[in-house]
Chain A
Amino acid sequence: MIRKLMFLTMVLTVVGMAYAGSNITIKGSDTLVRLGQRWAEEYMKHNPMAVIQVSGGGSGTGIAALLNGATDICEASRDMKEKEYKLAKQKGITPFRVSVALDGIAVFLHEDNAVGNLSFAQLKGIYTGSITNWNEVGGNDARIILYGRENNSGTYSFFKKKVLNKEDYSEYTQTLPGTAAVVNAVSKDKNGIGYGGIAWAKRVKFAAVSVTDDGEAVIPSSETVSSGKYPISRDLYWFFNGQPDGELKKLVNWALSEEGQKVAVEMDYIPLPPEQAAISIIK
Chain B
Amino acid sequence: MRKLEFKPKSKLREFLGEKIISINAYVALISILLIFVFIFKEAIPIFTDEFIQEEVTVDKMVFKQEFYEGRDAKWSWQPNSEVPKYSLYPLFLGTIKASIIAVLFALPLGIGAAIYSSEFASRRAREIIKPAIELLAAIPSVVLGFFALMVLATFLQNVLHLTFRLNALNAGIALGLAVIPIVFTVAEDAMTSVPQSLRDAATALGANSWQVSLTTVFPAALPGIAAGAVLGFGRAVGETMIVLMASGNAAIVSADFLDSIRTFSATIAAELAEVVFGSAHYTVLFFIGSLLFIFTFVINLTGDAILLRLRERFQGRTS
Contacts and interface: CB of A to CB of B under 8 A. Distances in A.
Interface of A: 57-58, 60-61, 64, 83-84, 87, 143, 145, 150-152, 156-157, 166, 168-169, 171-177, 185, 188-189
B264 to A, nearest CB: 15
A171 B250 contact: yes
Contacts of B82: 166
Contacts of B81: 168
Interface in B235-254: 244, 248-253
Nearest to A171: B252
A174 B251 CA distance: 9
Nearest to A189: B165
Contact of A156 (B80, B165, B262): B80
Contacts of B262: 175
Contacts of A188: 154, 165
B78, B250, B273 interface centre (most CB from chain A within 10 Å): B250
Contacts of B90: 171
B271 interface: yes
Contacts of A189: 165
Contact of A57 (B248, B252, B260, B273): B273
In the A-B complex, the 4 residue pairs with the smallest Cβ-Cβ separation, listed nearest first, are A152-B274, A174-B248, A60-B274, A151-B80
B76 interface: yes
Contacts, number: 71
Given A84-B276, A166-B82, A171-B90, 7 more contacts: A64-B276, A152-B273, A156-B80, A171-B252, A174-B250, A175-B250, A188-B154
A145 B252 CA distance: 14
A156 B277 CA distance: 20
B270 interface: yes
Q: By DSSP majority rule, is chain B's interface helix, strand, loop, or mixed?
A: loop
A176 B166 CA distance: 11
B274 A61 contact: yes
A185 B167 CA distance: 13
A177 B271 CA distance: 11
A145 B164 contact: yes
Contacts of A150: 249, 270-271
Contact of B251 (A87, A157, A171): A171
A58 B259 CA distance: 29
B276 A60 contact: yes
A157 B80 CA distance: 8
Interface residues of B, number: 31
15 contacts: A60-B275, A60-B276, A61-B273, A64-B276, A168-B81, A172-B252, A174-B248, A175-B248, A175-B262, A176-B249, A177-B244, A177-B270, A185-B165, A188-B154, A188-B165
A173 B274 contact: no
Nearest to A165: B82
B78 A145 contact: no
A113 B95 CA distance: 33
B274 A174 contact: no
A175 B249 contact: yes
Contacts of A168: 76, 78, 81, 85
A231 B242 CA distance: 37
Contacts of B80: 151-152, 156-157
Most buried by B among A57, A157, A169, A176: A176
B163 interface: yes
A174 B249 contact: yes
Given A174-B248, A188-B165, A151 B271 contact: yes
A143 B249 contact: no
A169 B76 CA distance: 11
Contacts of B163: 143, 145
Nearest to B272: A152
Contacts of B253: 171
Contacts of B166: 174, 185
Nearest to A142: B163
Interface string B72-101: 000011111110010000100000000000
Nearest to B249: A175
A192 B267 CA distance: 23
Given A152-B271, A189-B165, A171 B76 contact: yes
Contacts of A175: 248-250, 262, 270
Contacts of A151: 78-80, 270-271
A95 to B, nearest CB: 15
Nearest to B251: A171
Nearest to B262: A175
Interface string B112-146: 00000000000000000000000000000000000
Contacts of B78: 151, 168-169
Contacts of B259: 172
